[in-house]
Structure 1
Amino acid sequence: MAEPAEFEQQDGADEPQVRSMRVAAALTRKGGDEFVKPGKLVEVRFVKGQSLSLTASRLLALMILTAGGDAWRDTTHRMRKADIRRGHKGNERIVDMLEELHRTLFAEDDTSWRGKRATKRFNLIQASWEEVEDGDRETGWIEWQFTPDARRLIQESQTYAVMNRQAVLGFRSAYALKLYEEGALRLHRRQPVWKVDVVGLRAALGIDLDKYKDFAQLRRKVLTVAKAEIDQLSHFTVEWTETRRGRAVTDIEFRFVPKGAPAQIAAVDELERHSTGRQARREGLVETLVNTDPMISPVEASEPVAGTEVASVLKKVTAALAASDRGRDTANEAWARFPDGPLHFGVTEQAARAIGVQHGGGWDVDVIADAYRKHMGDRLAVLSGKKLERSWKGWCETFANRRGRP
C-alpha cells in the first residue's frame, strides 16, 4: 500500500530524507496508539550474553514513541514518570529500567580502521535525567538522549515497523515483544517471511546461549509462548517451519500473516479488556455467562462486553454442587462459609478481602461481595473450603473484566 500523502510531507528544511521519521512525525500528529520503530533499531542484535528485560524493552519502545519524528535529532526527549509506571505507585522500577538500558550493549557488523571485518558494540542511551521528588510525591519527568550510534541507525533506516502501543504494553514475554517487532517490520516491507538460523534467532531475540540449549525447550518456552501472545494481541499471526540437519534444527522460517478485519477487531477488543483473564481467554478456558446477575440490565447483557465471560473453573465449581454430597470442607476453617457482612474483621473476612483486592481490578471489595452473594443465591450456603475460595476468586476476576477499571 502506498504511503499516505501526509506521511511524505517534511516537517522542516533540516528534516532528513528518511521515510521512517516522516511517518513517525505524521503518526505523532495524528495521535492514537500506533507508532514507528525504525527498521535498523528492530534488527540490531544484542551482544552475546546480554538482552533487555520485558520492562526495559517496553520503556525503550515508549521512548521511541515519545521521541517520534525527532528521534534522529541530537537533542533530549522527555516523558512523565506516570506514563511509565502504569498503575505502580513507586518510581524505583523506573531507575532499574533506565540503568538497564544504559548498560545493555548492542552489536552490528562493521569494518576496522584497517578495512577488516569487525563487530561494533554500542549503547542506545547516551544520558538520562530523572527528577528527584520532594517527600512522597509520585510526580516527575525523565529526560534522555539517544547515542550518536542510535541516531545514525535511525537516520539510515528506510524501512520501519508500525506497532501498537497497547499491544507492546500487553505482552508478558520479552521474546513475544521482540518477535512482534520483527513481524511488524517484515509485513511493512511486504516480505512476510523471515528465515534465520538458530544462532541468529538467539541473537535477535536476546536468548542466552546457555539457556534452552535443547531446541525442544526453546520451541516450548519461547516460540510457542510468543506465538500465542502475538496471535491474540497483534494485527497478524505467526507460523514457522523448522529445517533439520539430521536430528538437529538448524534454521527456522517464520511467516507473518495479516489478520482479516474480524480478527483485527477481536484483537483490538482484547487490548481494551483488563489483562486479568487474558491467558484464560487465549487458551479457551472461558465461557459465556448467562445473565443471572440482577445488577446487569437486559441491555447490558445483550451486548458483547468484557466480563460476560468467566473462567470455566467458576462454572465447573458451581455446576458440580448439584452432584456433590453437599458436605462442608472443614479442613479449611478460613473458608467454612462466605461472610454475610463487610469484609473487614475475622479470619474468613480478611482472607476474602485479600483475594478481592488482588483480583478485583480496584473495585470496592464489599461491592464485589454484594454482587457475588446476589449471583450465587442459595448455592452459596452449600459452598465451602477450596471450592468456595476458587469460586470467590473467579468471581472477582469476572467482576473486574466485566466492568473494567473503576
Structure 2
Amino acid sequence: MRVAQALSSKQTDEFAKPGRLVEVRFVKGQSLSLTASRLLALMILTAGGDAWRDVPHRMRKADIRRGHKGNERISDMLEELHRTLFAEDDRSWRGRKATRRFSLIQMSKEEVEDEDGAESGWIEWEFTPDARKLIQESETYAVLNRQAVLGFRSSYALKLYEIGALRIHRRQPTWRCDITALRAALGIAPDVYKDFAQLRRKVLQTAKSEIDQLAHFRVEWKETRQGRAVAEVEFRFEAKDAPAQIGTVDELDRHSAGRRARREGTVEQLLIETPDTIAPVGKAKGGTTPGAVARAATDDEPSGERAAEVSSIVKQLAGRMNASDAGPRPKFASFPSGSLRWLGGEEFLAVGRSHGGGWDIDMIAEAYRGHMGDRLAKLSGTKLQKSWQGFCESYVTRKGRPT
C-alpha cells in the first residue's frame, strides 16, 4: 500500500495491484468479462494506498466510459463484480486445508440523475472485509500501466499481463501451473477450449500477441506432456530492451483503432513515390553554404564591397543549384558537419524527429559526432541511416524524454 500511495502521488499511468489480489483465482464456472476486469483495475487504481481501509471510494463515470457516450454498461459491470466469487486456499477452524470463497465488492452506489449532464455522474463503492484483508496482508505487488490495461481486447490477456507484471522483477520470472490451475487463474470456463490445441490457439497465442505489443515485457511458455496430453505449462516473462520499450510507449500513445492490424503486420501503407536521392544543393565556390548566406543576409545592412560580396555569393549559389552538371545527391551519403536544419540534412532531420524523443536534433547530432569520431567518415547509405537512428533511440533511453 505504501508503493500504491507513492505511485498515486506521482500522477502517472502506473499503479500497484496487490499480489494476492492478482493471484486470487475464480471460482469454477465463474470469471469476469473484459469490461468488468477493467473496472476492477480502475477501482484499485482510484483507491490507491487507501484500498485496505474501511472507507468508501469514488470515481467519475466518465473515467470508466472512455469513448462511450452512455452509462448503461456501468450498471452491468457493477452487478457482475458483486456476483462474481473468488477463491483462495486457506485453513479451516480445525487447521485443515480449505478453500475460502468471497466477493470483492460489498456495496456500490451509482448516480442515476445527472442534472449537469452525463459527465458529472459518479459511482461509489466499498471493498468487502475479505478483500481489504487480502489487500492489506499482501507482501508483493504488480506495477500495471493504466493505458495497457484499457488497451487489452482479451480478458485472458489482461489476466496473464497482471500475472507477468507480478513476477517480472523476481529472480526467476516464471509461473508454472497445471492445466486446472491455469484455467482457474485465467477464468476459462470448463465448457470451452477443452482441447489444449484450442486453448493454445484461442487463449495463449492471443494473449501473447497482445502482451508483446502493449506490456513492458514479453511472454513465452513451455509445455510439459505426460504421454500425449499437456500436463503443465511454464510461462517465462522477459523484460523488453530499451528500444522495444520505447516502441511500446509509442503504441500506447496511438489510437487503438488499427492496433490489431499493426500487431499482425497487415496495415495498408500509403506509398508515395520518392527518389532515393535529394535534389542537388551543392556549395558555392569557396565552400559557402546556404547557412552562411543566411547569416550574411541577416547582418547589418551591407554597403560597398560588403554588399557586392553578398550579391556575388547569392549568384554563385543560385548558379550552382541550377547548373546542368549538378547531379542529384544520394541520401545518407555523409553526415552533415553543421546544423541538420540546413539544406543537405533533410533526411537526417526526419530520422531525428521520429526517433529523438522530442530532444533538440542538433544537440543529438553533436553528441553523435563526438561518439563516432573518425568512424563517422567511413559510414554512408543504409549503414549510416541505421547508425544515426540507433543513436537517437539510445539517446532517448539514456536521457528519458524532455519535460
**TM-score, normalization by structure 2:** 0.67
| Match of residue 199, structure 1, among 177, 180, 186 | 180
Specify the code of the residue in structure 1 equivalent to 2:60.
Answer: R
Kept after mapping to 1: 8 A contact 2:144/2:165: yes
* Corresponding residue of 2:32: 52
* Corresponding residue of 2:89: 109
Distance in 1, Cα, partners of 2:198 & 2:71: 35
| Match of residue 14, structure 2, among 34, 37, 40 | 34
* Corresponding residue of 1:129: 109
Specify the code of the residue in structure 2 equivalent to 1:25.
Answer: Q
Distance in 2, Cα, partners of 1:193 & 1:40: 17
| 1:88 paired to 2:68 | yes
| Match of residue 265, structure 2, among 274, 284, 292 | 284
Question: Per-residue CA shift, 1:46-78, capped at 9, x if unaligned?
Answer: 000000000000000000000001011110110
Kept after mapping to 2: 8 A contact 1:195/1:253: yes
Q: Check 1:241–1:292 CA distance in 2 against 1; reply closer, same or farther (3 A cut).
A: same
| 1:189 paired to 2:193 | no
| Match of residue 51, structure 2, among 48, 71, 91 | 71
Q: Check 1:136–1:30 CA distance in 2 against 1; reply closer, same or farther (3 A cut).
A: closer
How many angstroms does 1:114 deviate by? 2.6
Greater Cα offset, 166-175 or 123-132 = 123-132
Kept after mapping to 2: 8 A contact 1:162/1:185: yes
How many angstroms does 1:291 deviate by? 4.9
How many angstroms does 1:289 deviate by? 3.2
Q: Check 1:301–1:91 CA distance in 2 against 1; reply closer, same or farther (3 A cut).
A: farther
Kept after mapping to 2: 8 A contact 1:162/1:188: no
Kept after mapping to 1: 8 A contact 2:114/2:121: no
Greater Cα offset, 126-135 or 24-33 = 126-135
| Match of residue 244, structure 2, among 263, 280, 284 | 263
Distance in 2, Cα, partners of 1:52 & 1:190: 31
Distance in 2, Cα, partners of 1:276 & 1:83: 19
| Match of residue 227, structure 2, among 233, 246, 260 | 246
> Is there any run of 5+ residues in structure 2 with no aligned partner, and where?
275-345, 356-403
How many angstroms does 1:112 deviate by? 2.1
| Match of residue 147, structure 1, among 101, 116, 128 | 128
> Is there any run of 5+ residues in structure 1 with no aligned partner, and where?
1-20, 306-406
* Corresponding residue of 2:338: none
Kept after mapping to 2: 8 A contact 1:160/1:188: no
Identity %: 76
| Match of residue 77, structure 2, among 87, 97, 113 | 97
* Corresponding residue of 2:23: 43
Distance in 2, Cα, partners of 1:249 & 1:116: 31
Q: Check 1:57–1:124 CA distance in 2 against 1; reply closer, same or farther (3 A cut).
A: same
Distance in 2, Cα, partners of 1:256 & 1:80: 34
Distance in 2, Cα, partners of 1:206 & 1:292: 50
Bigger Rg, which one? 2
Kept after mapping to 2: 8 A contact 1:46/1:107: yes
Distance in 1, Cα, partners of 2:146 & 2:35: 14
How many angstroms does 1:304 deviate by? 4.1
Question: Per-residue CA shift, 1:23-44, capped at 9, x if unaligned?
Answer: 1000000111000000000000
**TM-score, normalization by structure 1:** 0.66
Distance in 2, Cα, partners of 1:146 & 1:191: 32
How many angstroms does 1:288 deviate by? 4.8
Distance in 2, Cα, partners of 1:149 & 1:220: 36
Question: Per-residue CA shift, 1:165-224, capped at 9, x if unaligned?
Answer: 000000000000000000000113333111110000000000011110000000000000
* Corresponding residue of 2:282: none
Distance in 1, Cα, partners of 2:97 & 2:224: 29
Greater Cα offset, 52-61 or 188-197 = 188-197
Distance in 2, Cα, partners of 1:216 & 1:179: 18
CA root-mean-square deviation: 2.0
